Amino acid sequence: VGHPQNLKCVTHNLRKMTCTWDVSPRRRRGQTDFCYTTNDLSPQVCFKTMEKRVEIPVPESSTTVTITTNSIYGTAFATRQFEIHKTDISFVPLTPRILSLTPDFSTSTLNLKWSDNGSAFPYGLDAVWQIQIFRKEGVEKVTYYSKMTHEDVILSWNWTSDMPLECTSHYVKIRCYVNATHFAGPKDWSDWSPVEELPGKDTEPNGNGVFPQDTVLAVGSDVTICCVHEEGQLIQMTYGSQVYPVIHLSSRSSAIRVLNASASDSSGTNVVCSWFEEAIDGTVLFVGYAPDVPQNLSCETSNFLVIKCTWKPGRPSGLYGKRGTNYSLFERISGKNVSCEVNEMNEERVCGFPVLADQKTYNFVLGVFNPIGQTQSSLLVDLFQRVCPKTPEKLTVTAISSTSVHLRWFINGSFAEIRLLCQIEISGDHFERKMHNVSMPGGKFSTYTAQVATLRPYTKYQFRVRCSAADHFWRWSDWSRVEEQTTQEA
Amino acid sequence: MAAADSPSLALQRRDLCSRGIRLAGKMRSDVVELLDTYVERQGLDASVSVAGVEGVPVAAVERWDEQTGTQRVLENLAAYRAFRVLLAEMLEEQREQLGDTDTALGRALASVLLQVSAFTYHLEELLRLESLGLPSEEEESPPPLDPHLGLFERKLRGLRVLRELSQWAVRSARDLRQIAKHSPATSSAPSPAHSP
C-alpha cells in the first residue's frame, strides 16, 4: 500500500527530463523524498517534494531513482527504487507557439512566424514541422523542414490559399518533431500549438462583398471567387454571362470555382453576386497573358542625340491601362535605365535612350513586365553601325548654270564623328532617273552642299536627296522634298 | 424677381429655350447610343438594376407640373453640374483602366461631357437672362467618388449616370418648353399631370 508506481520520464530538450509517478491508493500524504544517482558514481542527490513530478538531468546512460512516500507526520510509508535507462526516456519537443499570422490579401497568402526554440537543445538538430491550415470546410496539412542551430531562430513560412483570404476564416496550428538521431528513447511529435485564426469577412458585420476584388489572373488559371452576403441569403453568382454552381463556405459566404479561365475583354470579366435577380455585389477579374518576348528589337540613331529602339510586342497580353504592359530600357555598360512611354495601340513599340558621351557600344536589355509576369530581350549595338540620319530638309538649288547646279540641304543632327554618304536623285521629263552619290564629313546640325554637273542646258530637272552613314551603311534616310529647277540656256 | 416680360426678354428667352431643347434632344440620342456601347463594352447585363447606386441626380420628380420656372432651371442646373463632374470621373476612370484601348468609348464619353457642359452653360445663361443669381458650384457638386469603390460598383455607377442622364435630357426638354411659355419666375401653366 502507498508504493510509488508508473514512473515515467519525458524530456523536451534532451537536457532535463520530467519524471512523474503515482501512488495508490490516493490518500492525503506528507512530503515525498526523491533521490537519484546517475551511473557515473556521482553522489546521490535527494530532495523533498509535495508533487508527484520532478525535473532532473537526462542521464548519459541510466539513472537510479529512489522514491520514499511519508505520512503527514513524516514517518516513512513506502520506498521504491527505479532504474531508468535512456531507452525508457521519451523525447517530446515543447509545444511550439505561433508568433504571428499575417495575411497578404492581394496574393491570398498567409505568412506564419514561429520560434524553433533551438536554444533549448544542447546541439543542432533537424526538425520537422507539420502545419495544418483549415477552414470550416476542408483542411490542408503541410510539412516543413528546418535545421535547428543552437539558437532560437524565427521561422517564417508562406502559404497561398486557393481562395481569397477574405472569403472565410482560416485557422492554423503547428506541431514539431525533432529528429534527434543520437537519442535512444522513443521520440514523438509535440502537441499542436494553440490555433491561430485569421477571421474572414463573413465574420464582420459590414464584410459583405465579392472577393477577390478587381484582381489580375493568368489565362488558364483556376480561381475561386466568393460572395460574402447576409446570413442565409441564397445567392446566385455569374462569371461573365455564365451562372456557376455555388459552393457554401459558411452561412454568410458562398463561392464559385472557375477552371481554366479564358482571356477577358479589355474592361475585364464581371463576376456578379445576385439575390433574387438583384445584383448585390460584384467584382471585375482581368484575365490576361504574361508579356511576350519582344520581337525584332532594333536600335538606331537618327541624330546622335537619341537612340530609338523599336520592337514588335508579340502576343497581346489582353491587359490594358494601369494593368497594361510596361517597358524599360536598361543599358548594362552605363547602368542607365529609362522607362518607356508606350502607346498600346501602335503595332510597333518605340522607346528613346539618350546617346551617352564617349560611349560607342550599347548593351541594351529591354525589360517587359505586367501584373502577370515579365520577360526581356537584349541587344548589343555599335552606334556607328546603326545610323539612319533624319530626312534632309530645306533642299535648295543654287549656282545654276547651263550644265551644273549646286544643291544645299540641312540635316538635323550631330554627325561630326562620321562621314555621310548622300544620294542625289536627278529626274526629268525626257530621260531616265539618275543617281549621284557624294560622300562628305558629317557636321553638327549642318548644311551640306554638292555640285551636280553634266546637265543639259535649258532643261527642267527634279532633285531630291537622302543620306546615310558612309562607313557602316545601315539605312538610308527618307528622301527629302523634291526641288525643281531649270538649267540656264547654253 | 425678373422685370415685367418685355418683348425682347421674351424673345431672348424663347431663343435660349429652343436652342436648349435642340441640344437636349441631341444629347438624349447620343447618351442612348453611348448607353448601349457602355453596357456592351463593360460586359454588363442590360437589365441589371442600379437602384442601389447613390450620388447620381434622379430625373424622376413628383408633381412636375407644379414646379415654378425658377425651380425647373435651378434643378436642371444642379443636375447637369453634377453630371459634368460624374462624366469627367468616368472619363478619367476609362483612361486609367483601359489606357489607349477602346478610344471609341472614350471619345463618345468626351462628346457627351462636352454637350453636358454646353447645356450647363446654357442654363446659366437662362438664369442670367432672368437676373436670377447663379448658385455656387460647391453647394451642388456630387459627393466625391469613393476611392475604395470596386470596379464593378464603378461600372454600375457609370450605368446609372448614363441612364439618369438620358432621362434628364427628356425632362429638360419638357422643362424648357414650359419656361419658353412663361418667365421662369411665374408659376407654370397647368398641363397634363405626369412626370417625365
Output the pLDDT for position A44: 87
Within 8 A of A210 by CB-CB distance, chain B residues are 150, 152
Q: Is B152 helix (H, G, I), strand (E, B) or coil?
A: helix
Which among B183, B171, B196 has a CA at the least distance from the CA of B21?
Answer: B171
Q: Around Cβ A164, how many Cβ atoms within 10 Å?
A: 26
Residue whose C-alpha cell is 483549415? A134
Q: Do A283 and B151 touch (CB under 8 A)?
A: yes
Output the pLDDT for position A220: 97
Among A210, A267, A279, select the one facing B98 at the smallest CB separation: A267
DSSP structural state of residue A387: B
Among B98, B150, B151, select the one facing A266 at the smallest CB separation: B98
Output the pLDDT for position A276: 81
Do residues A260 and A222 make contact, with C-beta atoms less than 8 angstroms apart? yes
Q: Around Cβ B114, how many Cβ atoms within 10 Å?
A: 14
Q: Is A95 helix (H, G, I), strand (E, B) or coil?
A: coil
**Cα–Cα distance measured from residue A478 to residue A296, given in angstroms and rounded to the nearest whole number:** 21
Q: Do A270 and B42 touch (CB under 8 A)?
A: yes
Within 8 A of B101 by CB-CB distance, chain A residues are 266, 320-321, 344-345
Do residues B69 and B186 make contact, with C-beta atoms less than 8 angstroms apart? yes
The sign of the torsion formed by the CA atoms of A330, A331, A333, A334 equals negative
The alpha carbon of residue A259 is apart from the nearest alpha carbon of chain B, in Å, by: 20
Q: Could you tell me the end-to-end alpha-carbon distance of chain A, in angstroms, rounded to an integer?
A: 147
Q: Is B1 helix (H, G, I), strand (E, B) or coil?
A: coil
Output the pLDDT for position A146: 83
Which among A159, A120, A154, A124 has a CA at the least distance from the CA of A143?
Answer: A159
Q: Around Cβ A181, how many Cβ atoms within 10 Å?
A: 8
Among A210, A265, A279, select the one facing B48 at the smallest CB separation: A279
Output the pLDDT for position A464: 97
**Cα–Cα distance measured from residue A463 to residue A409, given in angstroms and rounded to the nearest whole number:** 11
- Residue A160, H or E segment: strand A154-160
Please report how the helices B103-129 and B151-181 are oriented relative to each other, as an axis angle in degrees rounded to 10: 30
C-alpha cell at B17: 429655350
**Cα–Cα distance measured from residue A457 to residue A401, given in angstroms and rounded to the nearest whole number:** 8
C-alpha cell at B184: 421662369
Q: Is B113 helix (H, G, I), strand (E, B) or coil?
A: helix
**Cα–Cα distance measured from residue A408 to residue A483, given in angstroms and rounded to the nearest whole number:** 11
List the pLDDT tens digit at each of the 490 positions of chain A.
567 889 999 999 999 999 999 887 665 667 889 999 986 667 889 999 988 899 999 988 889 999 998 877 777 778 899 999 989 999 999 999 999 999 999 999 999 999 988 888 888 888 999 999 998 877 777 888 888 877 889 999 999 999 999 999 999 999 999 988 889 999 999 999 999 999 999 999 999 999 999 999 999 999 999 999 999 888 999 999 999 999 999 999 999 999 999 999 999 999 999 988 777 899 999 999 999 999 999 999 999 999 999 999 999 999 999 999 999 999 999 999 999 988 777 777 999 999 999 999 999 999 999 999 999 999 999 999 999 999 999 999 998 999 999 999 999 999 999 999 999 999 988 788 999 999 999 999 999 999 999 899 999 999 999 999 999 999 999 999 999 999 999 8
Output the pLDDT for position A340: 94
Question: Which residues sit opposite A449 in a β-bridge?
Answer: A408
Closest residue of A to B38, CA-based? Answer: A267
Q: Do B101 and A265 touch (CB under 8 A)?
A: no
**Cα–Cα distance measured from residue A239 to residue A108, given in angstroms and rounded to the nearest whole number:** 20
Closest residue of A to B148, CA-based? Answer: A213
Q: Do A267 and B153 touch (CB under 8 A)?
A: no
With 0-12 / 13-18 / 19 or more C-beta atoms within 10 angstroms meaning exposed / middle / buried, residue B92 is exposed
Output the pLDDT for position B191: 42
C-alpha cell at B31: 447618351
Task: Provide the phi-psi class of A64: left if phi over 0, else alpha when psi is between -120 and 50, else beta.
Answer: beta
Output the pLDDT for position A4: 86
Q: Is A262 helix (H, G, I), strand (E, B) or coil?
A: coil
Q: Do B95 and A343 touch (CB under 8 A)?
A: no
Within 8 A of B95 by CB-CB distance, chain A residues are 321
Question: Which residues sit opposite A130 in a β-bridge?
Answer: A143, A175
pLDDT at B190 over 70: no
The alpha carbon of residue A324 is apart from the nearest alpha carbon of chain B, in Å, by: 8
Distant-in-sequence, close-in-space partners of A322: CB < 8 Å, separation ≥ 6: B96, B97, B99
**Cα–Cα distance measured from residue A406 to residue A447, given in angstroms and rounded to the nearest whole number:** 13
Q: Do B44 and A270 touch (CB under 8 A)?
A: yes
Task: Provide the phi-psi class of A471: left if phi over 0, else alpha when psi is between -120 and 50, else beta.
Answer: alpha
Radius of gyration for the alpha carbons in chain A, expressed in angstroms and rounded:
42
Output the pLDDT for position B76: 95
Within 8 A of A270 by CB-CB distance, chain B residues are 42-44, 152, 155
Residue whose C-alpha cell is 450620388? B55
> What's the half-sphere exposure (Cβ side, CA atoms, 13 Å) at B57?
25
Output the pLDDT for position B184: 55
Which among B161, B145, B120, B124 has a CA at the least distance from the CA of B31?
Answer: B161
Question: What burial letters (b/e) apply to A185-204, b meaning 16+ CB within 10 Å?
Answer: beeeebeebeebebebbbee
C-alpha cell at B6: 418685355
DSSP structural state of residue A187: B
Q: Do B155 and A270 touch (CB under 8 A)?
A: yes
Mean pLDDT rounded to a whole number for chain B = 86
Within 8 A of B51 by CB-CB distance, chain A residues are 278
Q: Do A267 and B97 touch (CB under 8 A)?
A: yes
Range with the poorest average pLDDT among A139-153, B119-133, B146-160? A139-153
pLDDT at B102 over 80: no
C-alpha cell at B36: 448601349
Question: Which residues sit opposite A311 in a β-bridge?
Answer: A349
Closest residue of A to B53, CA-based? Answer: A280
> What's the half-sphere exposure (Cβ side, CA atoms, 13 Å) at A27?
11
Q: What are the residues of chain B with a beta carbon less than 8 Å away from any beta carbon of chain A?
A: 41-45, 48-49, 51-52, 95-103, 150-153, 155-156
ipTM computed for the complex: 0.83
Backbone angles phi, psi at B162, to 5 degrees: -70, -40
The alpha carbon of residue A265 is apart from the nearest alpha carbon of chain B, in Å, by: 8
**Cα–Cα distance measured from residue A273 to residue A40, given in angstroms and rounded to the nearest whole number:** 75
Q: Do B41 and A265 touch (CB under 8 A)?
A: yes
Which among A386, A411, A392, A414 has a CA at the least distance from the CA of A474?
Answer: A386
Closest residue of B to A273, CA-based? Answer: B152
Within 8 A of B43 by CB-CB distance, chain A residues are 240, 264-265, 267-270
Within 8 A of B153 by CB-CB distance, chain A residues are 281-282
Among B41, B51, B52, select the one facing A267 at the smallest CB separation: B41
**Cα–Cα distance measured from residue B147 to residue A465, given in angstroms and rounded to the nearest whole number:** 57
Within 8 A of A283 by CB-CB distance, chain B residues are 150-152
Within 8 A of A264 by CB-CB distance, chain B residues are 43
Do residues A281 and A291 make contact, with C-beta atoms less than 8 angstroms apart? no
Structural domains for chain B: 14-45+67-142+149-182 (1.20.1250.10)
Among A240, A264, A321, select the one facing B97 at the smallest CB separation: A321
Radius of gyration for the alpha carbons in chain B, expressed in angstroms and rounded:
18
Within 8 A of B152 by CB-CB distance, chain A residues are 210, 214, 270-272, 281-284
- Give the DSSP per-residue string, B82-99: HHHHHHHHHHHHHHHHHT
Output the pLDDT for position B1: 38
Within 8 A of A241 by CB-CB distance, chain B residues are 45
Q: What is the mean pLDDT of residues B140-149?
A: 74
